[in-house]
A = this chain, B = another copy of it.
Amino acid sequence: MGPLQIKELLNTSPEKQTVTLKGWVRTKRESKNAIFIALNDGSTIHNIQAVAEPGQFSAELLQTVTTGSCLKITGQLVESLGSGQTVEVKIDDILVYGTADPDTYPLQPKRHSLEFLREIAHLRPRTNTFSAILRIRHALAFAVHQYFNDGGFFYLHTPVITASDAEGAGEMFRVTTLDLNKLPRTEEGNINFKEDFFGREANLTVSGQLEGELGAMALSKIYTFGPTFRAENSNTTRHLAEFWMIEPEMAFFELEDNMDLAEDFVKKVITYALTNCKDDLNFLQNRLAEEEKSKPQNERSLPLLEKLSFVVDNPFERLTYTEAIEILLKSKPHKEKKFQYPVGWGIDLSSEHERYLVEKHFKKPVILTNYPREIKSFYMKLDDDGKTVRAMDVLFPGIGEIIGGSQREENYEKLLGRVHEVGIDPQNLWWYLETRKFGTAPHSGFGLGFERLVQFVTGMGNIRDVIPFPRYPKSAEF
């Protein structure tokens, strides 16, 4: 649908056929014998080179052909004599759709900092780096849908606006249509949320899991893939206020099946990117190498493609939390008191501990299981010892936890007990509890933060650079 794109034209055999190019000028170069215009339409990282003869076009026209201007070029597709491309276009005609004044257009052909580009997020998809990231992000999203569709999962659209708090914690965004200047009050002087749009307090969801479980207890295998929200006031390179989560939930899956699925899933999705995004990944690999040039050799990361292939080719190491603590207690950094945080059974592993396990000890992705119940969510299935739960975290080099999941507690009494323990009002979750009353079954699921995956695959250090329009404290521009 629509005209042939540059990606297709670059793979078309040149037979002097007339072709039409539409895209944005990346660079224009004039030599004695020719004028070279590098045009890009976002379909690929590669530009197509269009060539005109000196004097073929008026100086007036050529003046408007500048970086960022948008052109329609008609010409002949011919073999390229220059290096770096197999075809080029001998220009017959140029139509300038839109100019880009070199004095004000911010994306001149020079190095821009990622910080600066974040301020012009409306234009940064026109850069090589961000177009590559967005194409890879698309490919990963498609691979997710394809993987689950092929596996007999149903995509379930769980609600964004919710009156429940899945995690029993976490700061949430309030959603309201009340006039803040004229808040309705009850007789007792409290805000009367009965007059709010939903007749009660409502928030943006932090997870679709609980509703996802409802779907799994009817359709067997479902997944969600939608936006989720955290109102944490944290300015880090790993957190967004609005991010996309993928949450499969499966009836009849126990912890072992859950781990198998998580490992297979993430490997297949990365493999899809390796197969379908070669050029973009190569570009980002070079970008990363360039960025790390100033670092000492031993602090540089693996080349991007090598890192991805490594994850795809090797089985993840699986061990229990208890075994992990034993390894940490015997570790050199622990003995030499190099860890910032203490190690001991019951602690919530910190990033330094996870990184030691993944990057130093096992040197590959790790799945940790059977965590102490106290540090995990109420809905996780209790182990027989009553001390641990059937949780699993998948830890990746560089980014730490990429997947968190568990077998869910399917026993009504045990689940209700945990709900009480953590201080949730069971009335708020009556519908969740009822799935354990009526036809309950063993079931499991996990969540993967999509942006963490895109970060891992693109090698980008800041999560704000892998989503088109990032939302974080004090920032909702665009």
A residues at B contact (CB < 8 Å): 1-3, 5, 7, 22-25, 41-43, 68-70, 72, 97-101, 104-105, 107, 121-123, 125-126, 130-131, 134-135, 137-138, 141-142, 145-146, 149, 151-152, 154-164, 171, 173-178, 180-181, 183, 191, 197-200, 202, 204, 211, 214-215, 217-221, 226-227, 229, 231, 233, 241-242, 244, 250-253, 257, 260-261, 264, 410, 431-432, 434-442, 467-469, 471, 473-478
Could you tell me if A197 and B220 are in contact, using CB atoms closer than 8 angstroms? Answer: no
B159 to A135, Cβ gap below 8 A?
no
Which residue of B22, B260, B438 contacts A251 across the interface (Cβ within 8 Å)?
B22
Structural contact, B198 and A476, CB atoms closer than 8 A: yes
Complex Cα–Cα for A163 and B478 (A): 7
> Closest residue to A231 on the B side, CB-wise?
B177
**A47: shortest Cβ distance to chain B, in Å?**
14
CB distance from A331 to the nearest CB of B (A): 35
B164, B176, B251: which contacts A174 (Cβ < 8 A)? B176
A3 and chain B: residue at smallest CB distance: B252
Evaluate contact between B177 and A175: CB separation under 8 angstroms.
Answer: no
| Residue from B70, B174, B471 in contact with A159 in the complex, judged by beta carbons closer than 8 Å | B471
Taking the closest CB of chain B, its distance from the CB of A273, in whole angstroms, is 13
The 9 closest A-B pairs by CB, nearest first: A98-B440, A42-B219, A125-B218, A122-B431, A198-B476, A199-B474, A70-B439, A138-B154, A97-B441
Known contacts A22-B441, A180-B191, A211-B469; 15 additional CB pairs below 8 A are: A70-B440, A98-B410, A126-B217, A131-B219, A134-B154, A135-B154, A145-B145, A157-B227, A160-B204, A176-B180, A178-B180, A180-B180, A198-B474, A199-B473, A199-B475
Please, how many angstroms separate the alpha-carbon atoms of A253 and B122 in the complex?
A: 20
Residue pairs across A and B with Cβ atoms less than 8 A apart, 25 shown, are A2-B221, A5-B152, A5-B221, A7-B152, A22-B251, A22-B252, A42-B154, A42-B220, A43-B152, A43-B221, A99-B439, A101-B438, A131-B218, A160-B160, A161-B173, A161-B204, A162-B476, A171-B177, A173-B176, A174-B175, A174-B180, A180-B183, A199-B474, A211-B478, A226-B226
